[in-house]
Structures are given as C-alpha cells and as structure tokens.
Amino acid sequence: TMEVRKKKPEKMSDGELLQELDRMIASAEAQANPNPAASAILESLHPAMKAAMPETVKKAKKNLRTLKQAKERLAELLKEAGKQ
C-alpha cells in the first residue's frame, strides 16, 4: 500500500509571523472593544447575543494581552538575534 505523505505546512518567516500577529491583534482589538452601534444591532437581531457579548469581550481582551506580549517578545528576540 502506498503511504500518503502528509505535506508539512510551510513555516512562516519571522517577518510573516510578526505580520500575522499584527492581523490577529487587530482582530482581537475589534472584539475586545465592540462598536456600540454594531452591538446594539446584533442584540436587536439576536437577543442571545447580549448575554454572549461580555464573555466574548473578556476572552478577546485576554487573547489581546497574549498576542501583544508574544509580538513584543518576538521583536525582542529578533533584535537580539540580529546583534549576534
């Protein structure tokens, strides 16, 4: 039987990783600070959304902290690596 080789996902370069973290941070920021008008519209369309909002915001704020810290750390490490 022929073995199906799983293709390893391409590794991102450090620069791409920083860009991806930036995108994730922007997305988490949008979730952590929902637009009041958009929230009101969502709630009117879907009453259950009102209950879910605080939990979503809390998770997004936690993710945001983690992502920002990861980005800062990666930038530090890249700077240190560049010095060697």
- What is the pTM assigned to this prediction? 0.66
Quick one: which of 76, 67, 73, 71 has its CA closest to 29?
Answer: 67
pLDDT above 90 (res 36): no
The predicted structure's pLDDT at residue 1? 57
How far is it, in rounded angstroms, from Cα 4 to Cα 7?
Answer: 9
Task: Give the pair of three-digit tokens for residue 70.
Answer: 């990861």
Say whether pLDDT at 75 is over 70.
yes
Contacts of residue 24, defined as CB under 8 A and 6 or more positions apart, other chains included, come to 63, 67
